[in-house]
A and B are shown apart, each in its own frame.
Chain A
Amino acid sequence: MSDTAVEIKNLRFSYPSRNVQILHGIDIHVPRGAIVALMGGSGSGKTTTVRLITGQYPIPAGSSVVVDGEPIERLDLAGLYRLRLRLGMLFQNPALFTDLPVGENVAFPLREHSQLPDATIRDLALMKLHAVGLRAAAARYPSELSGGQQRRVALARAIAFDPKILLYDEPFAGLDPVSLTIIAKLIKELNEHLGSTSIIITHDVEQTFEIVDLVYLMWQGKVIASGTPAEMRASADPIVSQFIHGSADGPLPFHLPGSDYRRDLRLADAP
Chain B
Amino acid sequence: MNEGRDSSLGRSRRRKGVIPAIRRLGWPLVEKTYFLGTFARFCWMIAARVPGCLKRPRLVWVQVYHLGTLSLPIIIVAGLFIGLVIGLQFHTILDRYGQTQVVGAAVAIALFRELGPVFAGLLFIGCSCTAVTASIGLKRSSEQFAAMEVMAVDPLEREIAPRFVAGALCLPLLTVILLAVAITGTYAIVVLQIGMDEGFFWGNMQRFTKFFGDFTEGLLKSVVFGVMSSAIALYHGYSARPTAEGVARATTNTVVYASLTLLGLDFVITSLLAS
Contact = CB atoms under 8 A, between A and B. Distances in A.
Nearest to B4: A266
A108 B151 contact: yes
Interface of A: 54, 56, 81-82, 84-85, 87, 89, 91-93, 95-99, 108-109, 112-113, 154, 157, 264, 266, 268, 270
21 contacts: A54-B150, A56-B146, A56-B149, A84-B150, A85-B152, A87-B150, A89-B147, A89-B150, A91-B143, A95-B142, A95-B144, A96-B147, A97-B144, A98-B144, A109-B152, A109-B153, A112-B158, A154-B147, A157-B151, A266-B2, A266-B5
Contacts of A108: 151, 153
**Range class of the B interface residue count:** 10 to 19
Nearest to B10: A264
Given A112-B158, A266-B2, A266-B5, A56 B144 contact: no
A91 B147 contact: yes
Contacts of A54: 149-150
A82 B144 contact: no
B196 to A, nearest CB: 49
Q: Which 3 A-B pairs have the closest CB atoms?
A: A95-B147, A84-B152, A95-B143
A63 to B, nearest CB: 20
Interface in B10-42: 10
B37 to A, nearest CB: 16
B38 to A, nearest CB: 13
Contacts of A268: 2
A96 B142 CA distance: 8
A138 B53 CA distance: 27
A179 to B, nearest CB: 20
Given A81-B152, A84-B151, A112-B153, A98 B139 contact: yes
Contacts, number: 55
B273 interface: no
Contact of A98 (B142, B153, B154): B142
B32 to A, nearest CB: 19
Contacts of B274: none
B128 to A, nearest CB: 15
B39 to A, nearest CB: 18
A242 B37 CA distance: 49
B1 interface: yes
A266 B4 CA distance: 10
B69 to A, nearest CB: 16
Nearest to B135: A99
B2 A93 contact: no
Nearest to B143: A95
A56 to B, nearest CB: 6
A262 to B, nearest CB: 12
A117 to B, nearest CB: 15
A154 B1 CA distance: 54
B144 A112 contact: no
Contact of B146 (A85, A95, A112): A95
B95 to A, nearest CB: 53
A213 to B, nearest CB: 24
Nearest to A113: B152
A268 B2 CA distance: 8
Name the residue in B1, B5, B146, B151 with the highest tally of chain A Cβ atoms < 10 Å from its Cβ.
B151
A18 to B, nearest CB: 14
B24 to A, nearest CB: 22
A81 B149 CA distance: 8
Nearest to A154: B147
A109 to B, nearest CB: 5
A99 B131 CA distance: 13
Nearest to A100: B144
A99 B139 CA distance: 9
Nearest to B150: A89
Contacts of B158: 112
